[in-house]
Chain A
Amino acid sequence: MTDLRQVLAAQVRNVLRSRWLVGYTLLLLLATVLLLRFGGSGTRALLSLVNVVLLLLPLVSVVFGTLYVYNAREFIELLLAQPVGRGAVYLGLFGGLAIPLSLALLAGVGGPLVVEALQDPSVWRPLAMLLTVGVLLTLVFTAFALCVAVLVEERSRGFGAALLVWLACTVVYDGLILLVLTTFRDYPLEAPVLVLTFLNPIDLARVVLLLTFDVALLMGYTGTVFARMFGTAGGLVAAFSMLLVCAAVPLWAGYRWFRRKDF
């Protein structure tokens, strides 16, 4: 445990000082302020912000995370040459990425929203949801990043794989859902679509966030199915748990490879 804490502290410090992270924080800050100022009133601005969070967060987490691990290769070797277990080094890397990325989100998106919420108390609830889901998504895609960087030996291919993960979760998966919907439109599809949504962290995050903003009706019949499912406290817990599972699975798979990896 103390080993993990030491590695974690060093990694967090290293990532927090990187220009990349500062840039990311400023980008989120800028996007949030601009959307709040010019993005229309109340919910409209928040909805645009949801899209930023859903696209940008996973992209930055998975790409920055993957590249960071490749760059840290020699340092990982140096750490492993110390009397330290591989688990401490691996989790230290994960936390060292996930914590600063989450802090960037809290500062960049959370900061301006808190100012907004001080004037308009109705913003508190969507604010809390947005940040919770955002942190969970950061965990999920940092876990994917580690998994990719451990499994794919070559840096350029790892970068490609990281982009593919992001594309698969954003564009490709939605395309597949649409395909299923159009192909089987004569059948009742609520249950299968619900399951499919549950399996993709970004879709799951989107549904949870949209429901917070009471725009479920805009999503038609499936929207009401979702509202019935996620509107309850139990549904919300299920959704959050599922996001944690989505982070745990790649994290665990990456560790299995990391433990046996030759450096």
Chain B
Amino acid sequence: MLLIQGLRKRFGRLEVLRGVDLTAAPGRITALVGPNAAGKSTLIKTIIGLVRIDEGTVLIDGQSIDGERAYRERIGYMPQAARFPEQLTGREVLALVRRLRHADARIDDALIGQFDLDPMLDRPIRTLSGGTRQKLNAVVAFLFAPDMVVLDEPTGGLDPVASGILKDKLIRSAAAGTTVFLTSHILTEVEELAHDIIFLMEGRVAFQGPIDQLLREAGEPRLERAVARLMTGSR
């Protein structure tokens, strides 16, 4: 369970997050959408602890994350761009992150088989294509069967087959009780995957709730139109 209250963040003069309140529930896929520069990545990075909080609280299962690091044992993170040490092999990277999680974590490496990644794991990362790196990135995010996964544009750079595998993984994880929190600008994908949607605009939450509620309120059958209405409506 993710609960964010009154979150503010500024970079110099630019106020990126201006008081964000939101929740993401376990067993549900919550999609964070919004125009470019709305603060989506900053928000995601705040949850992981990569960006420091100026004001407000981020609670995971009721615990504040500020200054903590143990909570990351239970979180999987898939950043937007996957870049690993060029000279290491995929297997070495996986071994490293495994050793950094000291808890007797359950290992879930099913994605390696599904992506057919095993033959690639002994090659140096620098010889791998962008798509293959992105697959490795997804494997790392799910490796510890986390209670919560946070994904920044997860399907970007993946081919349709791999993208489908990852989406199935997200749906299955949510069904098993994982909190899935992702950003995406592909609204058809959001419509297909997500239960709840959070629309972030200019550093504030403009809408939050189940997708069908948004469609009903907007009086539009498709998410793309409903979101477009949100964007123009609040201007």
Contacts and interface: CB of A to CB of B under 8 A. Distances in A.
Interface of A: 2-3, 6-7, 10-11, 13-18, 71-75, 77-85, 260, 262-263
Given A18-B86, A72-B85, A6 B99 contact: yes
Interface stretch (B28-36, B48-56, B115-123, B187-195): B48-56
A83 B101 contact: yes
B161 interface: no
B88 interface: yes
Interface in B45-68: 45, 48-52
A52 to B, nearest CB: 27
B88 A263 contact: no
A3 B79 contact: no
B85 A82 contact: no
A51 B53 CA distance: 48
Given A2-B102, A82-B97, A262-B50, A74 B83 contact: yes
Contacts of B79: 74, 77-78, 81
A262 to B, nearest CB: 4
Interface string B76-102: 010101111111100011001101111
Contact of B100 (A14, A72, A79): A79
Nearest to B93: A10
B52 A260 contact: yes
Contacts of B9: 262
Q: Binding site of A, secondary structure by majority: helix, strand, loop or mixed?
A: helix
A15 B88 CA distance: 9
A79 B82 CA distance: 12
Q: Please give me the 7 A-B residue pairs with the lowest Cβ-Cβ distance, nearest first.
A: A74-B83, A17-B87, A14-B85, A81-B77, A263-B50, A83-B72, A262-B51
A10 B97 CA distance: 10
Interface of B: 9, 11, 45, 48-52, 69-73, 75, 77, 79, 81-88, 92-93, 96-97, 99-102, 124, 140
A198 B73 CA distance: 47
Given A6-B96, A13-B92, A80 B50 contact: yes
Contacts of B51: 262-263
Given A13-B87, A80-B49, A74 B81 contact: yes
B87 A83 contact: no
Contacts of B70: 83
A42 B207 CA distance: 78
Contacts of A85: 69
Contacts of B100: 3, 6-7, 79, 82-84
Contacts of B93: 10
Contacts of A18: 86-87
A52 B121 CA distance: 41
Contacts of A10: 85, 88, 92-93, 96
Nearest to A79: B100
Nearest to A9: B96
B200 to A, nearest CB: 18
B101 A82 contact: yes
Given A6-B100, A81-B79, A262-B11, A75 B84 contact: yes
B139 to A, nearest CB: 12
A16 B124 CA distance: 13
B73 A263 contact: no
Contact of B72 (A2, A74, A82): A82
Contacts of B84: 74-75, 78
Contacts of A263: 45, 50-51
25 contacts: A2-B102, A6-B99, A7-B96, A10-B85, A10-B88, A11-B85, A13-B92, A14-B85, A14-B87, A16-B87, A18-B86, A71-B86, A72-B85, A73-B83, A74-B84, A75-B84, A78-B97, A80-B49, A81-B72, A82-B101, A83-B101, A84-B69, A262-B11, A262-B51, A263-B51
A3 B100 CA distance: 6
A179 to B, nearest CB: 37
Nearest to B16: A262
B64 to A, nearest CB: 16
A135 B99 CA distance: 30
A74 B69 contact: no
Looking at A73, A84, A262, the one whose CB has the most chain B CB atoms below 10 A away is A262
